[in-house]
Amino acid sequence: MGAGLSTHVLDTARGRPAQGVPVTLFEIQNGERRPVTQALTNSDGRTDAPLIGRGQLRPGTFELTFEVAAYFEGLPGAPDVPFLDLVTLRFTVADPSSHYHVPLLISPWSYSTYRGS
């Protein structure tokens, strides 16, 4: 995959992709959040299309917000009152010619992320 921005959500508590997680991408400019796109993760835990397509990525600061409480609601083993609600990741794109992949690994009680490939 060429330059662009993608994400992937994995449910580490269940050992499977997290399907149906609402994801919103914002661009941060002059301290203000501007919505770029919204998506829902598919059966593979990915969005059907890149969040920013090939050749459209530019340098700047972005936020990805994942609605994890909505995903865990009603699943076996999830707490009655969610510990995590929204997980927001703020990151900077320095090299728009590179692909930025931002995975999120979640459980009802924790999350982690990294810059993937």
Residue 24 structure tokens = 């919103």
- Give the C-alpha separation, 39 to 25, whole Å: 9
- Give the C-alpha separation, 69 to 87, whole Å: 9
Q: In what order do the strands lie in the sheet with 4-11?
A: 16-17, 4-11, 99-106, 111-113
Is residue 114 a known part of a binding site?
A: yes
Cβ neighbourhood burial of 91 (10 Å; 0-12, 13-18, 19+): middle
Count CA atoms within 13 Å of residue 50 on its CB side.
15
Is residue 46 a known part of a binding site?
A: yes
Please enumerate, by residue number, every residue annotated as part of a binding site for substrate. 8, 46, 114
Please enumerate, by residue number, every residue annotated as part of a binding site. 8, 46, 114
